Amino acid sequence: MSSTDNTPPVQPTTPAAGGPTPAAGTTAQVQGTTSPGQISTDPTSGSAASPEGTTQTGAETGAGTGAGTEAGTEAGPGWVSRHTTLLTTVMVAVIVAALAIAGLTWYRHTIDERNDDTEAAFTQMVSGQGATVETVECDGDTCAAVISGQAYTVLVQEDESGEQHFGVSAYAGD
């Protein structure tokens, strides 16, 4: 080798474990290059060859990540794939909340319908006796009514066959 020759010195390498054994004197390689199946690291070049034979730079392998180099150029898994459990939990919580709101709305609607039915039945009973119902408001098994200018409290009972019976008394207050 002369002083003007810029080629690096030739160094023999040994094959990776389990690889083919080359004939003597035939496998001299230039420093920093590898063949498939071999892993070679060179601290001066900052590169390493993977077992598939592709060369990776220090930024891709994590070696040589000092100031001024990026930690990795390959994009990792997306946000959705990293937060699948969180998204599933949030979706389940939203569905449960929606079902709870729908159930509460349905329950309140059935209560309002029952109260409206009770008010209609009471108004029909009072009108059948010749009195005039000015207002009636029911809440469960108790109604407040104004009949011919007088305030009354109405207690409602329902028998086993579903028929309602009303007990009317003078207004007793809250």
pLDDT at 76 over 70: yes
Q: State the residue range of the domain holding 39.
A: 29-56
Q: Are 32 and 47 in contact (CB under 8 A)?
A: yes
Position 170 confidence tier, pLDDT thresholds 50, 70, 90: confident
Q: Average pLDDT in the 152-170 region?
A: 89
Residue 45 lies in a domain: yes
Q: Tokens 């003078």, residue?
A: 170
**Looking at the 3D structure of the chain, how many domains does it have?**
2
pLDDT at 41 over 90: no
| The predicted structure's pLDDT at residue 141 | 87
Position 20 confidence tier, pLDDT thresholds 50, 70, 90: low
Position 23 confidence tier, pLDDT thresholds 50, 70, 90: low
- Give the CA radius of gyration of the chain: 45
Q: Average pLDDT in the 53-67 region?
A: 52
β-pairing, 55-57 vs 133-139, is: unpaired
Residue 61 lies in a domain: no
Domain shared by 37 and 98, yes or no: no
Domain shared by 105 and 163, yes or no: yes
Domain shared by 90 and 51, yes or no: no
Q: Mean pLDDT over all residues of the chain?
A: 76
Domain shared by 100 and 154, yes or no: yes
pLDDT at 47 over 90: no
Q: Tokens 């409290």, residue?
A: 153
Closest CA to 117 of 107, 105, 125: 125
Residue 72 lies in a domain: no
Q: Average pLDDT in the 102-120 region?
A: 94
What is the spatial distance between Cα 115 and Cα 104, in angstroms, rounded to a whole number? 17
Domain shared by 85 and 166, yes or no: yes
Alpha helices in 28-83 (DSSP H): 58-61, 79-82
pLDDT in tens, 117-148: 999 999 999 989 888 899 999 998 899 999 98
